A and B are shown apart, each in its own frame.
Chain A
Amino acid sequence: AQKVTQAQTEISVVEKEDVTLDCVYETRDTTYYLFWYKQPPSGELVFLIRRNSFDEQNEISGRYSWNFQKSTSSFNFTITASQVVDSAVYFCALSEASSARQLTFGSGTQLTVLP
Chain B
Amino acid sequence: DAGITQSPRHKVTETGTPVTLRCHQTENHRYMYWYRQDPGHGLRLIHYSYGVKDTDKGEVSDGYSVSRSKTEDFLLTLESATSSQTSVYFCAISESQAGGPYNEQFFGPGTRLTVL
Contact = CB atoms under 8 A, between A and B. Distances in A.
A44 B109 contact: yes
Category for how many chain B residues contact A? 20 to 34
Contact of A101 (B56, B106, B109): B56
Chain B interface SS verdict (over half): strand
Category for how many chain A residues contact B? 20 to 34
A91 B43 contact: yes
Interface in A70-106: 91, 95, 97, 100-106
Interface stretch (B11-19, B44-52, B63-71): B44-52
A105 B109 contact: no
A47 B106 contact: yes
A43 interface: yes
A107 B107 CA distance: 17
Contacts of A60: none
Contacts of B110: 43-44
Interface string B71-103: 000000000000000001010100000001111
Would you list the 4 A-B pairs with minimal beta carbon distance, nearest first? A105-B42, A45-B107, A100-B100, A105-B43
Given A45-B43, A50-B102, A100-B100, 18 more contacts: A6-B42, A33-B102, A43-B109, A45-B90, A45-B92, A47-B106, A50-B103, A91-B42, A91-B43, A95-B102, A100-B102, A101-B31, A101-B101, A102-B58, A103-B33, A103-B45, A103-B92, A103-B105
